[in-house]
């Protein structure tokens, strides 16, 4: 209704790319420049509203 099929495919590819970058950053533990609330290694879920 709002998007054409090619636009949906492109949107899906972009989402997959950004999720992949997020997982790569997590795997590399890239937290050095993040606020303290996001550096917690206690195992608790880290959310955008944690800070």
Residue 47 lies in a domain: no
pLDDT band at 1 (very low <50, low <70, confident <90, very high): confident
Kindly tell me if the per-residue pLDDT of 5 is higher than 80.
Answer: yes
Which domain does 14 fall in, by range?
A: 5-42
DSSP structure class, residue 45: P
pLDDT at position 3, please?
95
Residue 35 lies in a domain: yes
Residue 48 lies in a domain: no
Cα 22 from Cα 27, distance rounded (Å): 9
**Structural domains in the chain (count):** 1
The structure tokens listed for 36 are 């303290």
Residue 50 lies in a domain: no
Q: What is the pLDDT of residues 13-48, one digit of tens each?
A: 999 999 998 888 878 877 788 777 777 777 777 777
């Amino acid at each position: 209704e709002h998007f054409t099929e090619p636009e949906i495919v492109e949107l899906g590819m972009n989402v997959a790319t950004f999720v992949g970058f997020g997982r790569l950053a997590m795997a590399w533990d890239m937290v050095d420049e993040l606020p303290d609330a996001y550096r917690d290694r206690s195992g608790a879920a880290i959310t955008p509203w944690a800070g």
